[in-house]
Amino acid sequence: MSVGAIFFAVCSVICVVGALSVVLARNPIRGAVGLLATIVGIAGLFLRLDAQFLAAIQLIVYAGAVVVLFVFVVMLLGPSAGFTSKAEARSKVSRIFAGGLMALLGALMLVLLAPKNPQKFGAAAEGHGSIEAVGGLIFTEGLPVFELVTALLIVAVIGAIAVARTQPGQRKPARVENPTLRLFHGPLLPRDAERPLSKAPAAQADPGGGMIPPTSLGKEQA
């Protein structure tokens, strides 16, 4: 195997292990580190693909900003950031979805890895992927998009500040003050079965008192 193939193999293993640890880790800090590994691996692959400028941008923006932002938020939220629900481990839908996607990828692999005449990468042009070349392209052909992206970034920064600084009102969304609304508060989902509907109506619950009990309503619909 050539040096390039070994480099590709190492980078792809780093990427896949990092991606798996993002999805599987219970502690989101480990997930963030896995994301970092994936990003570094992809930056290495960018280098191999003659995209030096993008590799640098990838490391600066993703590893330098995005992952740090994630770690900040995880630290800010404290232990409750490591939430894992018991339902997600035994959800049948997610298994079916994952299996279906795996099958799809397997089919894709069969199609992709059996090309009749695989087209090797030709020699890269002089300065392919350099800052001068990509920057020149961005400021000529991509200038309208570039301007739009600057506007998007400004809006995103202002929006993030506005969203994060606004204090949420102390009131929780009032759910069942209205007795008419209570009719529609049956446990539509099984996970809501034990959840208290609200404080006030639960205290004065009278099953025979003219109000349809929410459990029977749920059964009728099912």
Partner 1 sequence: MALDLVVEHYVLLSGLIFLIGAVGFVTRRNVLVQLMSIELMLNSVNLALVAFNRQHGGAMNGQMFAFFVIAVAAAEVAVGLAIVLQFYRLRATVNSDEADGLRH
Closest to 20 in 3D by CA, of 6, 5, 34, 3? 34
Closest to 48 in 3D by CA, of 60, 58, 33? 58
Q: Which of 10, 75, 147, 153 binds partner 1 (CB under 8 A)?
A: 153
Q: Which of 10, 75, 112, 193 binds partner 1 (CB under 8 A)?
A: 112
Determine, following the binding rule CB under 8 A, whether residue 102 of this chain makes contact with partner 1.
Answer: yes
Count of positions (residues) in the chain:
222
Q: Which is nearer to partner 1, 138 or 211 (CB)?
A: 138
Q: Which is nearer to partner 1, 172 or 199 (CB)?
A: 172
Please report, as a single letter, which amino acid is at residue 113. Answer: L
Q: Which of 3, 116, 120, 208 binds partner 1 (CB under 8 A)?
A: 120
Determine, following the binding rule CB under 8 A, whether residue 145 of this chain makes contact with partner 1.
Answer: yes
196 dihedral zone (left: phi>0; alpha: psi -120 to 50; beta): beta
Q: Which of 10, 37, 116, 138 binds partner 1 (CB under 8 A)?
A: 138
CA distance from start to end of the chain: 61
Q: Are 150 and 165 in contact (CB under 8 A)?
A: no
- How far apart CA 150 and CA 200 sit, in angstroms, is 50
Look at residue 160 and give its three-state secondary structure.
Answer: helix
Q: Which of 75, 149, 183, 202 binds partner 1 (CB under 8 A)?
A: 149
As given in the structure block, the two tokens for residue 66 are: 């995005």
CA atoms within 13 A on the CB side of 142: 10
Q: Which is nearer to partner 1, 195 or 209 (CB)?
A: 195
Determine, following the binding rule CB under 8 A, whether residue 3 of this chain makes contact with partner 1.
Answer: no
In the region spanning residues 39 to 68, those forming contacts with partner 1, defined by CB under 8 A, are 39, 42, 45-46, 49-51, 53-54, 57-58, 61-62, 65-66
Least gap, CB of 134 to partner 1 (angstroms):
5
Q: Which is nearer to partner 1, 45 or 211 (CB)?
A: 45
> Measured in whole angstroms, how far is the alpha carbon of residue 173 from the centre of its chain?
27
> How many residues of this chain bind partner 1 (CB under 8 A)?
98
Determine, following the binding rule CB under 8 A, whether residue 128 of this chain makes contact with partner 1.
Answer: yes
Q: Which is nearer to partner 1, 4 or 205 (CB)?
A: 4
Determine, following the binding rule CB under 8 A, whether residue 31 of this chain makes contact with partner 1.
Answer: yes
C-alpha distances in Å from residue 65, one per residue of 58, 72, 82, 137: 10, 10, 21, 25
x-or-dash string of contact with partner 1, 174-193, rule CB under 8 A: -------x--xx-----x--
